[in-house]
Copies of this chain bind each other. A is one copy, B any other.
């Protein structure tokens, strides 16, 4: 249960971090979409480990193979299956903590829920599971771009206590990718890199915040009252490993503004389209997109697996000391950017199809 996301554009993932492979089935993709493996690989490469000194050194080429649903480079409308083989599992690294519960990791809860867990690596709790999301998201991104010129740009807004200075309306994909941190503010990016590197050397880890902006969102996406567009985005983001919070538009900060200041005044643009002078709503009102930029933020805690010694217990509930091993990210933020983008694309794509289904057009 729980491994399928979406209603019309449905994504089902499978696979553990130290199993043979991970994969994804995409059901509901419109037919006749040009599917280019390079688009998928581009985002997988942005997600993969080993991109820099400050990411996990696990060596994975993360090569995607499409096993079904595509014929002569076009989608058939039937399930697309994409598989990525694992190549560099080092399960031995996990043997010393086979029966120990890493603090704040999912070891204890998986074991308690199911009565069993794959202790070789993180199993389904590993971020390796997100490969399927990124692959599916790349297809959704492409359709959204082709059909509506939707542009989804995520970036690192904060690492630890270092907050970047970024104007969401002006950030560019190139600006993001030119930073190994995926933070388009060069000054902050450097500070962030140093902070992560220092944490790494300290055998510690850091968290942060990813911000994401979507341009050219079609008006009318979202299905109140439960499947509001922002509700589905919130679920998408909190389903990511290590995420602890979600906000849209003014978010938590907006609560200290009075309504007269917070309300986004409507006006008619020169092109005759409806616009708002401010965007505290973050592009969604009443759970439905209003055509303004969608702006969201996602909080990620520092990774649980650290190299420092920690007190914990084992499966016999005895006190033990745990020393981390394995290859882990001291900070997940730089690699999480394409994942947050992918989940956004999946939510938007699903709602495009829902809207087209119920109302007949988008």
Contacts and interface: CB of A to CB of B under 8 A. Distances in A.
A286 B105 contact: yes
Given A32-B115, A246-B245, A207 B302 contact: no
Contacts of A166: none
A301 interface: yes
Contact of A239 (B20, B231, B274): B231
B359 A255 contact: no
Nearest to A268: B317
B30 A254 contact: no
A354 B30 contact: no
Contact of A258 (B5, B15, B31, B302): B302
A326 interface: no
A308 B159 CA distance: 40
Interface in A238-286: 238-239, 241, 244-252, 254-260, 262-268, 272, 274, 276, 280-282, 284-286
Contact of A247 (B15, B31, B101, B246): B246
A110 interface: yes
Interface centre among A14, A129, A259, A265 (most CB of B within 10 A): A259
A285 B276 CA distance: 39
A25 B237 CA distance: 23
A174 to B, nearest CB: 26
Q: How many copies does the complex hold?
A: 4
Contact of A225 (B3, B21, B103, B317): B3
Contacts of A250: 244, 301
Interface centre among A104, A108, A310 (most CB of B within 10 A): A104
A245 B253 CA distance: 9
Interface stretch (A40-48, A70-78, A179-187): A70-78
Contact of A81 (B15, B118, B301): B15
Contacts of A260: 204-205, 306, 308, 310
Given A1-B8, A14-B81, A67-B21, A207 B266 contact: no
B78 A290 contact: no
Given A27-B2, A247-B299, A21 B68 contact: yes
Interface centre among A1, A299, A317, A356 (most CB of B within 10 A): A1
Interface centre among A208, A248, A302 (most CB of B within 10 A): A302
B205 A265 contact: no
A239 B260 CA distance: 23
A23 interface: yes
A248 B123 CA distance: 23
A298 B326 CA distance: 36
A40 B75 CA distance: 31
A288 B78 CA distance: 13
A69 B14 contact: yes
A113 B359 contact: yes
Given A103-B263, A299-B254, A31 B67 contact: no
Interface in A82-114: 101, 103-106, 108-110, 112-114
Interface of A: 1-5, 7-8, 10, 12-16, 19-23, 25, 27-32, 65, 67-69, 71, 74, 76-81, 101, 103-106, 108-110, 112-118, 123-125, 129, 158-161, 199, 202, 204-209, 219-228, 230-239, 241, 244-252, 254-260, 262-268, 272, 274, 276, 280-282, 284-290, 297, 299-304, 306, 308, 310-313, 317-319, 353-360
